[in-house]
Amino acid sequence: MIRVVIVDDQVLVREGLRALLARTDDIEVVGEASDGDAAVRVVARTAPDVVLMDIRMPGTDGITATRRIVGATPSTGTHVVVLTTFDGEDNILDAIGAGAVGFLVKNSAPEELRAAVRNVANGDAMLSPAVTRRVMQAAARSPRTRETEVLKVLTDREREILVEIGSGLSNDEIGRKLFISPATVRTHVTRILAKLHARDRANLVAIAFRTGLVSPTDP
């Protein structure tokens, strides 16, 4: 069973998410919280696989709570998926920096929600096209880091793969585009993560844009 904690200050949102996740045989909601401080305590007590985390909450916000959860459980396998409405300036890059590995729009279809939980529990990042576009927009407003300082440790092939990661492609999609196997892509991704000291795939997306390797205007 995939163990999930839901964090949102709105009771109806928590109940709705719980009801949607309850309609599966492999996902179990083991806790809820209405603010960041409570989320940290619930996660410490229940050790979930996935946390669905709202960004805007009274008191301790979701980004701060994510940073505390990821920092306290680096080896337990707890992954944070940020819940967003995209109705304002959600701090996507800040959430990635805090350790979130997935982003989910609150009005996502039920199957998208379940797929996100399963993918993240399996160790994959969850970056939808809508989220990737928002990362592009946020990166366009962020100070750029000189590419040579950050990316000089990568091989040409690794840079090529990082471009595709920044464009939001999965390992299978990258493999098809570059005519290499998904296993080879995974090997390259692992090396890129190590070389760039990146926590996860979401971090790589942010790096691709912050360094200018991928432009917000690229298709």
Find tokens 């492999």 and name the residue: 26
- Under the banding of pLDDT at 50, 70 and 90, the label for residue 219 is very low
pLDDT at residue 89, rounded to an integer: 46
**91-132 confidence digits (pLDDT tens):** 677 787 788 888 887 888 888 889 889 888 877 776 666 666
**Beta bridge partners of residue 80, listed in sequence order:** 51
Predicted local confidence at residue 139, as pLDDT: 59
Alpha-helix runs per DSSP H in the chain: 11-22, 36-46, 62-72, 92-98, 110-121, 129-141, 147-151, 156-166, 171-178, 182-195, 201-210
Is-same-fold flag (2-126; 144-210)?
Answer: no
Fold of 144-210: Arc Repressor Mutant, subunit A (1.10.10)
The residue ranges of every structural domain in the chain are 2-126, 144-210
Distances (CA, A) of 62 to 51, 79, 170: 11, 13, 26
Structure tokens at 152: 């000089």
Residue range 13-46, pLDDT digits in tens: 999 999 999 888 999 999 999 999 999 999 999 9
pTM of the model: 0.71
Q: Distance between CA atoms of 213 and 146, rounded to whole angstroms?
A: 10
The arithmetic mean of pLDDT across residues 63-91, rounded, is 76
CATH number 3.40.50.2300 is the correct assignment for the domain at 2-126: yes
pLDDT at 48: 95
The per-residue pLDDT for 76 is: 61
**pLDDT, tens digit (0-9, with 9 covering 90-100), for 131-188:** 666 665 665 565 555 555 788 899 999 999 999 988 878 888 899 999 999 899 989 9
